[in-house]
Amino acid sequence: MKDGLLKPDTFSEHRLLGFPPGVSAFLITFNRFHNYVAGELKRINEGDRFSPNPRLSKEDAEREVDKRLFNTARLVTCGLYVNIILSDYVRTILNMNYAPASSWVLDPRRSFSEVFDKGSFPVSTGNQVSVEFNLIYRWHSTVSAQDEKWSQDFFQKLFPGQEVSKLPLRDFLTGLSNLRGEIVAQKPECRTFGGLKRDSSGFFNTQALAKLIAESTNDVSAAFGAHQVPVVLRLVVMLGISQARGWHIGTLNELRKFMDLKPHESFEDINPDPKTQEAMKALYKEPDFVEMYPGVLFEHAKEPVYPGSGLCGGFTMVRAVLSDAVTLVRGDRFYTLDWTPATMTNWGFDIIKPDKPQDKLARGGKMHHLLDIAFPKFYKDNSVWKLFPFTTPGEIKRIFEKQGVAGKYDFSSPL
């Protein structure tokens, strides 16, 4: 490809083809947004910054333009992603949809000079992800009933006639390795998923992709908590436990101490359920010995608060998730110190900036920009399916009817 473009409807990560198809469809929305941005940057050519350098050969000049367009479009696209995390995802997990007429967003990019001095809350310090957080974000317990059924069918095709949860780990890994070999043998731009087919230009049907996203929007996730991981993912979790041990990860209480949380003093502190307590006692003898990865799965799930708490996992997990949202964004120089029109162009900076007038109906959310560009004319302008895609349409309707604002929105299904 040239002119900063990605190959159409393409991603390189082969593992996503082992996930329900809505995951791949969601990633493709960012592919389409990136290519839209690259096209607009070239068309506008602000300050001639994307014009070929006449002092270079034609080939080198085109390569340089391609590089500039790609990198600038990537900054803009990732900037939209950051805003979606803060304005759509974090707001949803804090149950902010229940706060009438609130567009409050936890934005760690602010200076907070009214609270902290300049040195006590630094920015642009780096944003590496810890191994602990890698494990904490393995939310197998929340897989929906629909996605659990998809996973069962997927593994049944991979291991015909066998009960996946009872397979020897060696056989399971061999099957996954064989699948990986089949996938990577294909070029990324030739791979398909979810029964979709590419056209002669390499694109998937827009309506079919949008349908996958809408179906996921309408799908209710399962709850966090002990005994919640689907049986079909039993071996996946076992591999995660083995991986954590291989990485020499600390215990649950060691992580809590690091985050200035009170260590669990008893198994009852971790989970009041007697059945879960007995399982922990049999495995660990003492609360201080409970491993971190199983521990965050064992922890008793929080109760919902309206607004305040919508992501009702264990307290350690939720604290870590919110800390990560702040730390990774605030530590990234591209989205703090370099969050300027100079790096993104005036047009690129404007298209993704928070608090645009058209975001008011979405209460500050930004996902609707992504969906409108990826799937033009699929959603109505006031459709809750695009304005609040992380909450099921039925639930958002109930909330807005209670708040007396339902008349502003369209709740009809685009399917």
Task: Judge whether 309 and 95 are in contact, CB under 8 Å.
Answer: yes
Residue 86 CA to residue 126 CA, distance in Å, equals: 18
Alpha-carbon distances, residue 17 vs 154, 179, 211 (angstroms):
10, 10, 18
For 94-122, how does the pLDDT look when each residue is reduced to its tens digit (9 = 90+)?
A: 888 888 877 777 777 777 666 666 666 77
pLDDT exceeds cutoff 80 at 308: no
Above pLDDT 70, what percent of the chain?
A: 97
Structure tokens at 114: 């009214």
Check pLDDT > 90 for residue 392. Answer: yes
Which candidate in 89, 137, 335, 409 is catalytic?
137
- Number of other residues whose CB lies within 10 A of the CB of residue 358: 10
Q: Tell me what pLDDT residue 96 has.
A: 86
Q: What is the pTM of this model?
A: 0.93
Going by C-alpha positions, the residue among 142, 174, 180 that lies closest to residue 17 is 180
Confidence of residue 24 (pLDDT cuts 50, 70, 90): very high
Tell me if residue 36 is catalytic: no
**Across 65-90, average pLDDT:** 95
Distance CA 40, CA 43 (A): 5
pLDDT of 62 over the 80 cut: yes
Say how many Å lie between the first and final Cα of the chain, rounded.
33
Q: How confident is the model at residue 128 (pLDDT cuts 50, 70, 90)?
A: confident
Annotated ligand binding at 248? The verdict is no
Q: Is the pLDDT of residue 235 over 90?
A: yes
Spacing of C-alpha 275 from chain mean position = 33
Average pLDDT over residues 220-242: 94
Q: What is the dihedral of CA 331, 336, 342, 347, to 10 degrees?
A: 110
Provide the pLDDT for residue 155.
96
- Record the tokens describing residue 61, joined without a space: 């000049």
> Is the pLDDT at 61 greater than 80, yes or no?
yes
Residues 6+ apart with CB under 8 A from 309: 94, 95, 302, 303, 318
Please state, in angstroms and rounded to a whole number, the distance separating the CA atoms of residues 1 and 373.
20
Return left, alpha or beta for 71; rule: phi > 0 is left, psi -120 to 50 is alpha, else beta: alpha
> Based on C-alpha coordinates, what's the Rg of the chain?
23
DSSP string, 135-200: HHT--GGG--HHHHHHHHHHHHHHSTTS-GGGS-HHHHHHHHHHHHHHHHTS-GGG---TT--B-T
Judged against a pLDDT cut of 70, whether residue 162 lies above it is answered with yes
What tokens appear for 329 in the block? Answer: 């964004």
| Tens-digit pLDDT profile for residues 346-388 | 999 999 987 777 788 999 899 999 999 999 999 999 999 999 9
Q: Which of residues 210 and 116 earns the better pLDDT score? A: 210
Where helices occur in 202-314 by DSSP H, the ranges are: 206-217, 234-246, 252-258, 267-270, 274-284, 292-298
How confident is the model over 180-193, as a mean pLDDT?
97
Beta strands in 264-409 (DSSP E): none
Q: Is the peptide bond before 307 cis (omega within 30 degrees of 0)?
A: yes
Provide the mean pLDDT of the chain.
92
Confidence category of residue 203, pLDDT binned at 50, 70, 90: very high
- Residues 135-153: b if buried by 16+ CB within 10 A, e if exposed: bbebbbbbbbebbbebbbe
Residues 334-345: pLDDT tens digits? Answer: 988 899 999 999
What the block records as the tokens of 115 is 């609270």
DSSP character at residue 313: S
Mean pLDDT computed over 160-184: 95
Residue 249 pLDDT class (50, 70, 90 cuts): very high
Quote the CA–CA distance of 148 and 168 in Å, as a whole number. 21
In tens, the pLDDT along 251-301 reads 999 999 999 999 999 999 999 999 999 999 999 999 999 999 999 999 998
Residue 127: the pLDDT is 79
pLDDT value of position 97: 86
C-beta contacts of 274-282 below 8 A and 24+ residues apart: 275/227, 276/226, 276/227, 279/226
Give the pLDDT band (50/70/90) at residue 306: confident
- Whether 92 has a pLDDT exceeding 80, the answer reads yes
